[in-house]
Amino acid sequence: MKNIDVLIFTAHPDDAEIGIGGTIAKLTSGGFSVGIIDLTEGELGTRGNAITRAAEAKAAAEILNITLRENLSFPDGNVRPSQEYVAKVVSKIRQYKPQIIIAPYFNDRHPDHIGAGKIVKEAMFFSGLPKFETFENGKLQEAYRPRKLFYFMMTYLFDPTFIIDVTDTIETKMKAIRAFKSQFHDPESDEPETFISHPEFLKNIEARARHFGFQIGKTYGEPFFCEEKIEFDFGWILNKPV
Ligand SMILES: [Zn+2]
């Protein structure tokens, strides 16, 4: 497979759709290749199970038109930085050579989201070191470091470094989220109610997108955080090279 432009690492199937489904749809409709690698199968989730969630993840991937979706099958509820987990993420970065990688913001309500953000940050660094050895099909992989690591918002807020206008793709995002039928509100389900299956949850997702859209003068937006400073070019606003 050829290189992926943007590679997203998440803790659970549905994290990427909830956090940045609109950005993903915008990128793929613009011709960029996007991959999602879920670190766990979400088997600890109160509703559904690993099998239903895998089928739902596949359906959501088709709606978002992404190029690849893989699962590293780390144990759900135990996503914490370790040499083994960091090496597995490094191996995926070296395999797909993305320009940009994206992970959950490293302070959140769910410890696995925190862990995923930390693992990916470590992997971003070690992936660029030739002496940090990883193998693909028994063959030593080349060192490679993506250009940028961005974080997306799950439950806890952060002050965004930048916001992506997702006005044109919000409907695709909501459709991709609803593909995870077992996780969200379903009047016919008799599974226990959870934080995200409450009927208000999907409205909150939309309200958050409206809030961040408003911040940039658009209808809907998705916030991102970057620990590094981002270079700015006046030409982006003046619409000619400066
Ligand atoms: Zn999650």
Within 13 Å and on the Cβ side, how many CA atoms surround 201?
18
Does the pLDDT of residue 164 top 80, yes or no? yes
Q: Do you know the residue count of the chain?
A: 242
More confident residue, 42 or 71: 71
Q: How far is the CA of 112 from the centre of ligand 1 (A)?
A: 7
Q: How far is the CA of 113 from the centre of ligand 1 (A)?
A: 6
Contact 225, 149 (CB under 8 A): no
Q: How far is the CA of 74 from the centre of ligand 1 (A)?
A: 13
Query: What's the pLDDT at 92?
Result: 98
Does the pLDDT of residue 228 top 90, yes or no? yes
Q: What is the mean pLDDT of the chain?
A: 94
Q: pTM, whole model, 2 decimals?
A: 0.94
Q: How far is the CA of 235 from the centre of ligand 1 (A)?
A: 38
Within 13 Å and on the Cβ side, how many CA atoms surround 113?
19
- Model confidence at 201, in pLDDT bands (50, 70, 90)? confident
Does the pLDDT of residue 106 top 90, yes or no? yes
Does the pLDDT of residue 46 top 80, yes or no? no
Q: How far is the CA of 45 from the centre of ligand 1 (A)?
A: 9
| Structural domains of the chain in order of their starting residue, each with its CATH number | 6-238 (3.40.50.10320)
How is residue 180 annotated by DSSP?
A: -
Cα–Cα distances in angstroms (integers) from residue 139 to residues 26, 124, 186, 188, in the given order:
35, 20, 47, 50
